[in-house]
Amino acid sequence: MQANKAVKRFQARRFAGTYADLLASPAYSGAARFFLDELYSDKDYALRDAQFARIASALQTFFPEQVVATAVALAQLHALTEELDQEMAAAWLAQAGESGRSDALRYIHAWKTVGRREDRERQLSDVLRVGEELDRLTRKPGLRMMLRMMRKPAEVAGLGALQSFLESGFDTFAEMARKGSRAREFLDTIRLRETAWFAHLYGPDLVTSETKLMACLGKAP
């Protein structure tokens, strides 16, 4: 459990460092903070996991058709993320006896031990799909009002955490939609930078990868 928390905490710091410029940008800070808090955070998602498990077969009947794809994408993303994090935690823990190894190098070794590059690429695709679906929702007339009206029924049904995610995501991307193509620019930035990290973390040069990762952590706010 502690190893899993350590991995999640490290990944949240890595995200914060990678996107320190966006977190500090008036144009993109809201979206970057939303992604950090909701998709790359070290928060405990047990409540939301339980909600997904309970409604997996009933999404079509409970939620408006317009938000089903987003909820499904988020459920798939989080299930895969938890699976990968569990394997990362086991590999992280296996290095506990290694003295003089930085957390950055420990993380890189755990990443290489887990491997599963295709699943990592699918994880990134799912992250981007969630963003794309949220951006799409902002173009649906009347949907924000519908989401607001769902708030009480969602709480009664025990789906408050998922409801909060949908509302927060809608508002975040609606703000960018009012300023032109910033949602697309934001998601393209995520795609480019995360793909670059894959190249470093799967690459053979451990020294360069560790140096870049340490530098990234130093930028984290």
174 band by pLDDT with thresholds 50, 70 and 90: confident
Mark out the alpha helices in 58-159 (DSSP H runs): 59-62, 65-94, 103-114, 117-137, 143-156
Find out whether 193 and 19 touch, Cβ atoms under 8 Å: yes
Find out whether 12 and 214 touch, Cβ atoms under 8 Å: no
Counting residues of the chain whose pLDDT is more than 70, the rounded percentage is 89
CA 11 vs. chain centroid, Å, equals 10
Render pLDDT for 44-87 as a digit per residue (tens, 0 to 9).
666 566 666 555 555 555 667 777 778 778 778 888 888 999 99
For residue 76, the model assigns a pLDDT of: 81
Structure tokens at 83: 């699976």
Angle at the Cα of 212 from the Cα atoms of 206 and 217, rounded to 5 degrees? 120
What pTM did the predictor assign?
0.85
Instruction: Say which DSSP state 27 is in.
Output: T
Q: Pick the closest to residue 133 from 180, 58, 178, 183 (CA basis).
A: 183
For residue 57, the model assigns a pLDDT of: 53
Residue 220 DSSP SS3: coil
Render pLDDT for 1-43 as a digit per residue (tens, 0 to 9).
788 888 999 999 999 999 999 999 988 999 999 888 888 877 7
Around Cβ 91, how many Cβ atoms within 10 Å? Answer: 20
